[in-house]
Chains A and B, each alone.
Chain A
Amino acid sequence: MTRIAVVQPALVLGDVAHNLERVEDLIRDAHREHSPEAIIVPEACTTPNVFAKILRGTPRPVDGQPFQLLTRLARELGCVIGGGFVAVRGKHAYGTFVLAEPNGAVHLHDKDIPTAWEQHFYVGGNDSGVARCETLGCTVGLMSGWEWARFRTSARVRAGGAQVVLGGMCWPSMPLNWPGPLRAFSEREHGIWREQARALPGQVARLTGVPVAHASHVGAIVGETPLGPGIPWKTQMLGESQICDRDGTILARLTLEDGEGHVAADVDLTAPPAPLDPLAERYWIPRFTLTTHAAWHAMNAHGALAYRLRHARKAFPWQSWPSGDLPDAIPPSSPTDAAAATSA
């Protein structure tokens, strides 16, 4: 059996330095308490991804401080560490998930579609999200954010022969500060999303037929409202960090009410994948409401256009940085020879 821990942090919007310190503390604490072989923190561990102008300046070089944090802790603690951040890779920013091994090997996965408002800040990648992790002795599927919620991601992971799914989630809810009838509407949507967030890791486990470790943001946060300047989007990160067995059984869980923390569970990574549910011919695994569908399409279109225009004007602060990239698969290396971003 392999022990995996998931960390559920409550992070501060835009405060990258503080958040990385908090993430380090939580990882160390999880390691002390559980002695796991892998520790997973959410995507966007530099700052929660909501709609907020401050996030234009929070991407970091792909080999920058967040990468150093995850890779150095993996070496120091002798366990696999996974987590994500918005990374500058070449000319664009991506939602990159990093899986770091103690031997210096690192696997990178870029989220395929930035979710809604996230389109303002980065673009999607096109890698398989499947990697061989020698430390865990198995093939790993990596998922970020609403990649978890798409059938095609589970299909990709199944096709790649993954024996475990590791990844992170950053799922801010509907505004909880809207007045009058809007409040009732948003609270109803909030309830639906909470239930969908709870069910999702187990659904992915049954679809892929392998254990999953899903680390999620939690806690209150105030963003901005797209196309609603000055209107705060006061909400909560939904939590639901979970470790599920291949049949969807929740082995360990942290809810929204549990707040910040970490849990661990033992899973079997040696058994071959045994999917229990078929891959449906649908896009989404959860039955999203009409509102969610509408918001997804509208925000995607708005965000993607805004990103393209801003990028064309070189208006993102990170566009003035000298930038290189890392390969998606970084081989083992000694501590004196860590990976550095370069250009071909």
Chain B
Amino acid sequence: MVVVGARLAGCAVAAPLARAGRRVVVLDRMGFPSDQLSTHVLLPAGTSELAKLGALPRILALKPSRVRWTQIVVEGISALERLRPAADGIDFGVCVPRDLQDVQLVEAAREQGADVREHCTVQSLRWRAGRVTGVRYRDAGGSEHDIASTLVVGADGRRSSVASLVGAWTPYRLSRNGRGLVFRYIDDPMAGGVEAETYYQWREGNSFAFAFPTTPLGRLVILLMGHRDEASDARADPEGYWQRKLDEHPGLAARVAGAPPGTKLRSTGETPAFFRASSGPGWALAGDAGHFKDPVTGQGMRDAMFAGRTLAEELLPVLDDADAVDCATRAWEAARDRECLPAYHFANSDTRVERQSAVICEVLRDAGRTTDPDITDLLGRARTPQQILTPTRAARALAAALMRGEQPRTQTLRRLLPDLRTELAVRAELRAGHFRSTRTIPGSEHPGAVWPAPPQAVA
């Protein structure tokens, strides 16, 4: 089997297959270590995926902060929650810069038998009778090679060459991001304390800020998610922008007070969410190549590994039968969508650049009464948004918001109707379970995304 792309999804699909004795060649145009724009964050379910991939010992050897808590602050209302352990008992999240992390995934895949070839660029796919049967690639020396394969997996990111080559470049479902992503690393002035075991997020006005203890111990990554246009503000005047954000988020300012200047700010303003057709005869798209959520909820890394691992699990029993492989990849795509749709819609909701609703504030106030896992189950994928915000709980939160009146009651009610309509449409879609549904949901999916032209030829 050939996997194109050797990061999260690529290694997650390659490692279990190689471990089972299958011949897996992984091609990546980059050499590792190699950095990547990312939210970095993994909750216990994500750490558990690292373990299943066989990479966790290597990651832990990097001495990452082990994060067991999350503190969410919305409009001055705070909830501190312990992260719910994953099913295998792993009870901490990790946050590792991609240049440190991805090379460990590559080495872990190699240890398990995958043949990872760096600096190798896919040129074209081989087709026979309407089915992909292999790839042609160019190595670092410029020589071209052919590999025959029962399945070619494109795990080569949002600008996937494999997606382009199989004719799946343009998503069948697309939503424009409202927020951009700006981040920098700094030394943690609270290293060693419980703060260094806690993911923080602040939601004030229409701006979000996050502080994640990262790797190695004693470092923090700060992510700022304001309007997508702020990415260009951050590029034009980095330190002015940084100071503005500290002013908007006093909690963040307090968290980083006393820290020396951090690394330069990095940013992106174009992160539309999408679903591509992700399976076809002899091919599949895993990770960001097939589906991408707005980064605001930090689910991308976990979902990429989940997609890769579950694809490998579907394939293992059938890899010698081309027809069965095609059935398996289609079934896998449908299952991936069932897993990811709730989080996709939630991220689409969260990327709206607006003040948090009074109802959400009340839900957070309710969650903050204990330190048990609650809201963070959503980020840890232990429960769906629909399971967390049940109709009863939403009604209670609405009543509390109206009684408390912290936000104008008319505004709360005016906002309720469209939000309710969107939520009912999302629930109806999840119940229906249609394959590759193209029906967009107003309020969740945002128009105006500009989809880029496909790559010229190659990965």
Q: Chain A: residues with CB nearer than 8 A to chain B? A: 16-17, 20-21, 23-24, 61, 63-70, 72, 320-324, 334-338, 340-344
A342-B438 in contact given A24-B128, A65-B281 (Cβ < 8 Å): yes
Q: List which B269-310 residues lie within 8 A (CB) of chain A.
A: 277, 280-281
Given the known interface contacts A69-B129, A69-B130, A338-B167, the answer about A344 and B322 at a Cβ–Cβ threshold of 8 Å is no
- Cα–Cα distance between A67 and B130 once the two chains are bound (Å): 7
Q: How far is the CA of A68 from the CA of B326 in the complex (A)?
A: 13
> Which A residues are CB-close (under 8 A) to B435?
322-324, 341-343
- Encode contact with A along B112-137: 1 for CB under 8 Å, 0 otherwise: 00000000000000011111000000
Binds A, one of B214-222, B328-336, B355-363: B328-336
CA A70 – CA B130 in complex, angstroms?
Answer: 7
User: Contacts of A16 on B, CB cut-off 8 Å?
Assistant: 323
* Chain B residues with CB below 8 A from A343, complex form: 434-439
Q: Tell me if B367 is interfacial: C-beta within 8 Å of chain A.
A: no
B394 at the interface (CB under 8 A from A): no
B interface: dominant SS = mixed
Q: List 14 extra interface pairs beyond A21-B128, A69-B129, A344-B439, CB under 8 A.
A: A17-B323, A20-B131, A321-B327, A321-B330, A322-B435, A323-B435, A335-B167, A336-B163, A336-B165, A341-B435, A342-B436, A342-B438, A344-B437, A344-B438
Instruction: Please give the distance in Å from A23's CB to the nearest CB on chain B.
Output: 7
Chain A residues, CB < 8 A from B130: 20, 24, 64-70, 72
* Nearest chain B CB to A90 CB, angstrom units: 10
- Closest CB-CB distance, A36 to chain B, in whole Å? 20
Q: Nearest A residue to B128 by beta-carbon distance?
A: A21
Contact of A338 among B168, B322, B331, B437 (CB under 8 A): B168
**Residues on the A chain within 8 Å of B169, using CB:** 336-337
Q: In the complex, what distance in Å separates the CA atom of A334 from the CA atom of B169? A: 10
Closest to B322 in A: A17
The answer for the CA separation of A117 and B224 in the assembled complex, in Å, is 65
- Bound: A337/B164 CA distance, A: 7
- CB pair B280–A322 under 8 Å, yes or no, is no
0/1 string, B148-171, CB within 8 A of A gives 1: 000000000000000111111110
B21 at the A/B interface (Cβ < 8 Å)?
Answer: no
Contact B437 A342 (CB under 8 A): yes
Indicate if the CB atoms of B334 and A322 lie closer than 8 Å: yes
Complex CA distance for A64 and B277, rounded to whole angstroms: 12
Q: Does B454 interact with chain A (Cβ within 8 Å)?
A: yes
* With known contacts A20-B130, A68-B130, A322-B334, A340–B327 Cβ distance under 8 A: no
Residues of chain B lying within 8 A (CB to CB) of residue A335: 167
A25 to B238, CA, bound (A): 60
With A341-B436, A343-B437 known as contacts, the answer to whether A63 contacts B129 (CB < 8 A) is no
Is there an interface contact between B128 and A322, defined as CB atoms closer than 8 Å? Answer: no
23 chain-A/chain-B pairs, Cβ below 8 angstroms:
A16-B323, A17-B323, A20-B129, A64-B281, A68-B131, A68-B280, A69-B129, A70-B130, A72-B127, A321-B331, A322-B330, A324-B434, A324-B435, A324-B436, A335-B167, A336-B164, A336-B165, A337-B170, A338-B167, A340-B167, A341-B436, A342-B438, A343-B435
Interface residues of B in 427-441 (CB under 8 A from A): 434-439
Which residues of B lie under 8 Å from residue A65 when comparing CB positions? 129-131, 281, 326
A24 near B129: Cβ-Cβ < 8 Å: yes
| C-alpha spacing A337/B453, complex, angstroms | 11
Q: How far is the CB of A71 from chain B (nearest CB, A)?
A: 8
Of the candidates A20, A67, A72, A340, the one whose C-beta lies within 8 Å of that of B436 is A340
Bound state CA distance, A206 and B72, in angstroms?
78
Q: Which residue of A lies closest to B129 (CB)?
A: A20
Chain A residues with CB under 8 A of B330:
61, 321-322
Beta-carbon contacts under 8 Å, B166-198 to A: 166-170, 172
Q: Using Cβ atoms and an 8 Å threshold, which residues of chain A touch B277?
A: 340-342
Q: For the complex, what is the distance from the CA of A64 to the CA of B322, rounded to whole Å?
A: 13
B281 engages A336 (CB within 8 Å): no
Chain B, residues 311-344, CB within 8 Å of chain A (1/0): the string is: 0000000000011001100110110000000000
Knowing A336-B164, A338-B167 are in contact, say whether A68-B281 is a contact too (CB < 8 A): yes
Chain A nearest Cβ from B123, distance in angstroms: 15
Distance, CA A20 to CA B88, complexed state (A): 45
**A321 surroundings in chain B (CB, below 8 A):** 327, 330-331
Known contacts A17-B129, A64-B326, A344-B437; A322/B172 CB under 8 A: no
Contacts of A322 in B (CB 8 A): 330-331, 333-334, 435-436
Residue of A nearest to B332 (CB): A322
Using CB atoms, name the residue of chain A closest to B166: A338
Bound complex: CA A69 to CA B128 (Å) = 8
Nearest residue, chain B, Cβ from A337: B170
Asked if residues A336 and B167 are in contact (CB atoms below 8 Å), the reply is yes
Residues from chain B with a CB closer than 8 A to the CB of A342 are: 172, 277, 435-438
Give the distance in Å from the alpha carbon of A66 to the alpha carbon of B280 in the complex. Answer: 11
Q: Give A298 Cβ to nearest chain B Cβ, in Å.
A: 33
The 6 closest A-B pairs by CB, nearest first: A338-B167, A69-B130, A340-B277, A68-B130, A322-B334, A343-B434
Interface centre among A24, A64, A67, A323 (most CB of B within 10 A): A64
Of residues 416 to 459 in B, which have CB atoms within 8 Å of A's CB atoms? 434-439, 454
Whole-angstrom distance between the Cβ of B318 and the nearest chain A Cβ: 13
Closest to B434 in A: A343
How many Å from the CB of B335 to the closest CB on chain A? 9
Report B157 CB to chain A, min CB distance, Å. 16
Contacts of A340 in B (CB 8 A): 167-168, 172, 277, 280, 436
User: For residue A68, which residue of chain B has the nearest CB?
Assistant: B130
Distance of A324 Cα from B165 Cα, bound (Å): 22
Give the distance to chain A from B320, nearest Cβ to Cβ, in Å. 13
Q: Determine the chain A residues whose CB is within 8 A of the CB of B323 once the complex forms.
A: 16-17
Within the complex, what minimum Cβ distance (angstroms) separates B427 from chain A? Answer: 17
Chain B nearest Cβ from A250, distance in angstroms:
31
Instruction: State in angstroms the CA–CA spacing of A323 and B172 once bound together.
Output: 15
Chain A residue at smallest Cβ distance from B173 = A342
Contacts of A64 in B (CB 8 A): 130, 280-281, 326
CB-CB under 8 A from B127, the residues of chain A are 68, 72
Cα–Cα, bound, A204→B439 (Å): 42
Residues of B contacting A20 in the complex (Cβ-Cβ under 8 angstroms)? 129-131
Assembled-state Cα–Cα distance A66/B5 (Å): 28
Find chain A residues with CB under 8 A from B437 CB.
342-344
In the complex, what residues of B have CB within 8 A of residue A72's CB?
Answer: 127, 130
CA distance A336 to B128 in the complex (A): 18
Q: A191: shortest Cβ distance to chain B, in Å?
A: 36
Q: Inside 8 A of A66's CB, which chain B residues have their CB?
A: 130
Contacting residues, chain B, for A67 (C-beta < 8 A): 130
Q: What's the nearest-Cβ distance from chain B to residue A278, in Å?
A: 42
Q: How far is the CA of A334 from the CA of B172 in the complex (A)?
A: 15
Cα A83 to Cα B418 in complex, Å, equals 48
Least CB distance, B238 to chain A, in whole angstroms? 36
Bound form: Cα–Cα A342–B131 in Å: 19
The docked-state distance in angstroms from the alpha carbon of A338 to that of B132 is 14
